[in-house]
C-alpha cells in the first residue's frame, strides 16, 4: 500500500510490485539498474564521453599540425584570436575534468559506503562505520576489492586536481 505516492516497504509488498506500479520507474526497469547502480552506469558513460572528447580533439589537432615532428603549430595568426582559442581550450579542459572528477568522487563514495550487512558485521565487532560521507576509515575497514577501487580512483583523480 502507498500513502501519498510514497511506496510502502512493508513485508506484504515486494520490490517487483513497486517497480511495476511506481510512477517513478518504468515497468521494464530492472532492479539491478536502479539507485546507486544506475549512478555508476552514468559515471562510466561520463568517463567514456570524456575519453571520446579527448581522443577527438587529439586526432583533430594531429591532423592540423603540419610542422616538423618536434614542433606542432595548431594556429598561426592574430594574437587576440590565439588568446581566445587558448581560453576556450582551458574552459573545455576544466569542464571535462570537472565531469570526470565528479564521476570519480561518486564512485569513491559508493565504494566506501557500507551496506546493511557491513554495518551489522562491524557493530557485532564493536567497530564504528561512518555513514553518509566519503570515508577513508570505512574504506580500510571494508573488503579488499572496495579498497583497491577507492585507492585507484583516488590516485587517478590527482592529475585532475593539478590541471
Distances (CA, A) of 54 to 40, 57, 89, 92: 21, 5, 11, 10
Q: 61-90, pLDDT tens digit by residue?
A: 877 766 666 677 778 888 999 899 999 999
Give pTM, 2 decimals: 0.66
For residue 21, what pLDDT band results from cuts at 50, 70 and 90?
A: very low
Q: Distance between CA atoms of 109 and 103, rounded to whole angstroms?
A: 10
Q: Distance between CA atoms of 78 and 72, rounded to whole angstroms?
A: 17
By the 8 A CB rule, do 111 and 157 touch? no
pLDDT at 59: 86
Q: At what angle do helices 144-162 and 79-112 cross, to 10 degrees?
A: 160
Amino acid at each position: 500500500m502507498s500513502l501519498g505516492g510514497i511506496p510502502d516497504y512493508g513485508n506484504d509488498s515486494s520490490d517487483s510490485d513497486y517497480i511495476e506500479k511506481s510512477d517513478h520507474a518504468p515497468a521494464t526497469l530492472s532492479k539491478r539498474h536502479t539507485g546507486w547502480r544506475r549512478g555508476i552506469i552514468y559515471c562510466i558513460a561520463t568517463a567514456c564521453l570524456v575519453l571520446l572528447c579527448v581522443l577527438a580533439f587529439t586526432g583533430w589537432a594531429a591532423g592540423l599540425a603540419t610542422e616538423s615532428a618536434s614542433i606542432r603549430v595548431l594556429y598561426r595568426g592574430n594574437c587576440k584570436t590565439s588568446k581566445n582559442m587558448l581560453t576556450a581550450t582551458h574552459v573545455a579542459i576544466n569542464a571535462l575534468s570537472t565531469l570526470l572528477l565528479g564521476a570519480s568522487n561518486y564512485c569513491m563514495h559508493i565504494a566506501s559506503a557500507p551496506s546493511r550487512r557491513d554495518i551489522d558485521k562491524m557493530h557485532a565487532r564493536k567497530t564504528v562505520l561512518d555513514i553518509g560521507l566519503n570515508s577513508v576509515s570505512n574504506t580500510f575497514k571494508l573488503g579488499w576489492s572496495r579498497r583497491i577501487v577507492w585507492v585507484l580512483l583516488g590516485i587517478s583523480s590527482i592529475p585532475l586536481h593539478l590541471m
